[in-house]
Amino acid sequence: MGARTLDGRAASAAIKVELAQRVAALAEQGVTPGLGTVLVGDDPASHSYVGGKHKDCAEVGISSIRRELPADVSQEDLEAVIDELNADPACTGYIVQLPLPGHLDTNAILERVDPDKDADGLHPTNLGRLVLNVSDPMASPLPCTPNGIVELLRRHDVDLAGRHVLVVGRGVTVGRPMGLILTRREINATVTLAHTGTKDLDALLAQADVVVAAAGRPHMIGADALKDGVVLLDVGVSRVEDPETGKKRLTGDIDPAAAEKASWISPNPGGVGPMTRAMLLLNVVEAAERHAGAR
């Protein structure tokens, strides 16, 4: 039997319908959620991701605020834009598209975002609440990709309790928060976090019931080392040249041949990416609901 598909496009479409209803309920209270994006530089992928975020917002009734800055913007000028969004009542949540150019201090920027408007869940206060295991989803936002992975599995009835999840990649947007979310009592998975310093990845892959591949290295997870029935989540996005057409195309961290061992696999594109976008919308709507409740 072949692997079943963890269909992120279908799940995100369903979530958007649910969120549009919540946005309509907010409108009745006179609240319009507004997502701000801060985009620095001209990386085509970042432009495309930000464009997708605003398209999603339009679909569910969230208004859009865009700030685009040149690649050589100074730390001071970027911080001024952050301060402006923190003060703008029309902007109920916002993100700074990552990665930022190397001359900028990313941590200082993330820390300057008002934690109540942090739509990415990457402010130290919100990451700290995750570490402290504040489990009320209305208390603070969760990082979008790991939350999207958990939601994708939940919507396909894939239970993680007692299962061994191997997360490959220790980045702040996926790997590190992923481990914290998966080990929450209500999910109850056992997590191993592997990274570029891991010595024998194949030995860990052989023990894993679930693999979250978020290293950004094309096809690094092949079929050989995997257990039969493994659940595979492919987060990595790399642009590689297609040897037949010579054109650039997107590819993930998981070799398509690995599907032969899997019980479930997320396609890439069409799996985790759309869930990342849906969870961003969720964070924006929840921030607006918190704000409406506090008025």
Which residues fall in the annotated binding site for NADP(+)?
Answer: 169-171, 237
Rounded to whole angstroms, the Cα distance separating 83 from 114 reads: 9
Pick the closer one to ligand LMY7XDAE by CB: 26 or 62: 62
Alpha helices in 5-123 (DSSP H): 8-28, 44-60, 75-87, 106-112
- 172 makes contact with ligand LMY7XDAE (CB under 6 A): no
**Whether residue 117 lies in the annotated active site:** no
Among 118, 120, 234, 253, the active-site one is 120
Residues 6+ apart with CB under 8 A from 35: 53, 54, 57, 62, 63, 64, 65, 91, 92, 93, 94, 95, 119, 280, 281, 284
Residue located via tokens 């194949």: 202
| 77, 86 contact by CB (below 8 A) | no
Q: Smaller CB distance to ligand LMY7XDAE: residue 92 or 268?
A: 268
Rounded Cα–Cα distance for residues 107 and 111 (Å) = 6
Residues β-bridged to residue 64: 35
Give the number of other CB atoms < 10 A from CB of residue 72.
11
Q: At what angle do helices 144-155 and 272-294 cross, to 10 degrees?
A: 110
Tell me: does residue 41 bind ligand LMY7XDAE (CB under 6 A): no
User: Does 274 sit near ligand LMY7XDAE (CB under 6 A)?
Assistant: yes
Nearer to ligand LMY7XDAE, 204 or 271 (CB): 271
CA angle 234, 238, 242 (to 5 degrees): 110
Compose the 226-265 pattern: x for residues touching ligand LMY7XDAE by CB under 6 A, - for all others: -----------x------------x---------------
Q: Find the binder of ligand LMY7XDAE among 145, 147, 251, 283 (CB under 6 A).
A: 145
Closest-approach residue to ligand LMY7XDAE (CB): 273
Task: Write down the catalytic residue from 53, 56, 117, 118.
Answer: 53
Query: Contact between 273 and ligand LMY7XDAE (CB under 6 A)?
Result: yes
Q: Which of 92, 126, 173, 283 binds ligand LMY7XDAE (CB under 6 A)?
A: 173
Site residues, ligand LMY7XDAE (CB under 6 A)? 48-49, 95-98, 120, 144-145, 173, 237, 250, 268-270, 273-274, 276-277
